[in-house]
Structure 1
Amino acid sequence: MSPPNIELAGRVAIVTGAAGSLGGAIALELLKAGANVACVVRRRDDFRRVPWAPHRGVGRSFGVCADLRREADIRRMVHSVLRHFGRIDILVNNAAVRGPTAPVTKLSLKDWRQVLETNLTGPFLCARECLKHMARRREGKIINISSMAGRMAYPLRAAYASSKWGLIGLTVTLAQEAGPANVQVNSICPGPVEGPVMDEVITRRARALGLDAGIVRQQFTRATALGRMVAPEDVSRLVLFLCSQAARNITGQAVEVSAGYGLWRGS
C-alpha cells in the first residue's frame, strides 16, 4: 500500500536504473500516485524485464535507453523526456553498479573507475542537466539513492562505499546550491534490500570470505536492529513521500531506511 493522500498527478519523474527490482518499485510507486514516469534503462533488452511493464496503464510511462557514464547520452535522455512530457519535476538517481568484492590491494583502477562513473558521475550529470530545467521553473525534487555503505566502513567494497559516501556529499552541496531555486535535494540510505542484487552481494561476499552464503545472509540480518532486511517497497514509499508536498521543507538530508542496520557495532 502506498502512503495515503499523496497525489502526483501531472508531475513528471525520471527514474534511472528502472529495470532493477528497486528502480522498478520506485517507478511503479510514482505511477500509482499519478505521476508520468520516464523509466531509464541502459539497454533496450532491459525493457523485457522491467517490473513496471504490466502497469503502463497506471499513469503514463515512457522508456528511455541511456548509458549514464556518457555525458552525451544523459543530455539526449533529458531532451527526450522534455520533448515527450514537456517538463521534469522529479529526478530519482537510482542506477548503480555493485563493483567487485575484493580488498583495496586487489582492486583494479578500471573497476574503481567503472563504479565511480556509474554511481557518482552519472548522478552528478543527471542532476546537473535536470536542475537547469527545474531552476527555470523554480520547483523540483532530486532524490539520490545512496546506501548505508555511504554511512560506515564497508570492507571489501571500497569502490562502492566511496561512491555512496560521495553521493551524500553531492546531495548536501547541491541542496545548498539549489535551495534558492526551490529545488529540494535528498539522499536515501537503504540497508540490505531483499532481491536479486542482494543475493549476488551475499554470494560474492561468501566466496571472498570462504563462508557459506547462508552464514553471510545471517550476518547481514543480525546487523539490523529489527532482524530483517528491507523490502524494495520500503524504499519506494520513502521516495514517494520525499516527492510530495509534505516534504517541501526537507532538503540536504540522508534519510536511512535500513531496519536499524549497523546501530550496534560492539562485540
Structure 2
Amino acid sequence: MYPDEFDYYTAESVGEALDLLDEHSDAETELLAGGHSLLPAMKTGLSSPEVLIDISGVDAMHGIEVDDDTLSIGAMERYSALTDSDEVAEHAPALAAAAQQVGDVQVRNRGTLGGNLAHADPAADLPAAALASNVTLVAEGPDGERSIPADDFFFGMYATDLTPDELLTRVEIPSADGAVGTYAKKPSPSSGYAMVGVAALLDTDDDTVESASVGANGVMDHGVRLESVEDALAGGSLDDDSIEAAAGHAGDDLDVAMMMDDLQASNEFRAQLLEVYTERALTSAMDADSASAAAD
C-alpha cells in the first residue's frame, strides 16, 4: 500500500526542527525518527500527515555520555546502540534489558529510543524500563528546555506530556551502578509487542532490598509504576517467598476493568499475566544479584 502525498523536510539541528514545526503548525505534521511505527501507519492509511520532518540526522540528539551520576542518551540513539553500550548496561541495566527484547535485529538497528518513548505505544517495551529507571525526559520547544519525570510523561494511549511544538531531545537517567535490572515480557505471537512487560531495578545490600523500582507496559493504556510491588520489596530480603508475595501485589493499584482488553488477551487474563511476569522479572533480578555476589 502507498501513503498519501506529503511534504518532506530534513532538519539538521534542533532549532531547525523547531522552526519547521512552527512553520507548519497549521498542517498535520509528524516527526520521523526511526519510522518503524509511523511508516506502517502511513502505508495502511492510519496516519496521513501533510508534512513529515525527518530528525534522524540531528547530531545533537545522538550520543551516550556519563556525567557524574547521570547517564545521558540522545533521543535518536538506536536500540542497537543501547544494547551495545557498556555505559547503558552499567548505569541503566533495566533499560538495556528491555532494549534487547525490542523487535528483531533489523528493528533494533533502525528504531530509536526517543521515537519509542514519544510514540507511547502501550505495548512498547521501553516505557516500563523508563519508569523503573526513573528516567527524566528532556524536551525542547519555543520556550527552551524542560525536564519531565517519566512518572509524569505517559498518560494515555499514544499520549504524552509533549506539546505539538516540542521535541524530545534526550533522556537523563540517575546512575544505577551496582543495581540489577531486568525485563520480562509475554510477547504477542503476531507482532512481538508486549501483551504484558515488566521491568525491575533493584538495589540490594547483603540480600536486603535497599530500593526497588518496577514498571509495566501492555497492561493499561500507558506505562505504569507498580508502587505496591516496590513497597512490598523495599527493606525486605530478596528470596523466592518475598518475590512471590510482592508479585501478588502487582495489580493492587490498577483497575482490572480499565486494563487493555483486545483479541490478544482479555483484561482478566492480563491481570494474571501481570502477576506472573512481575514474579519472573523479580526472579531474574534475584538470580542476577546472586551471580554478581558470587563473582565478587
TM over 0.5: no
TM-score (norm. length: structure 2): 0.25
Relative contact order (alpha carbons < 8 A, sep ≥ 6): 1 or 2 greater? 1
TM-score (norm. length: structure 1): 0.27
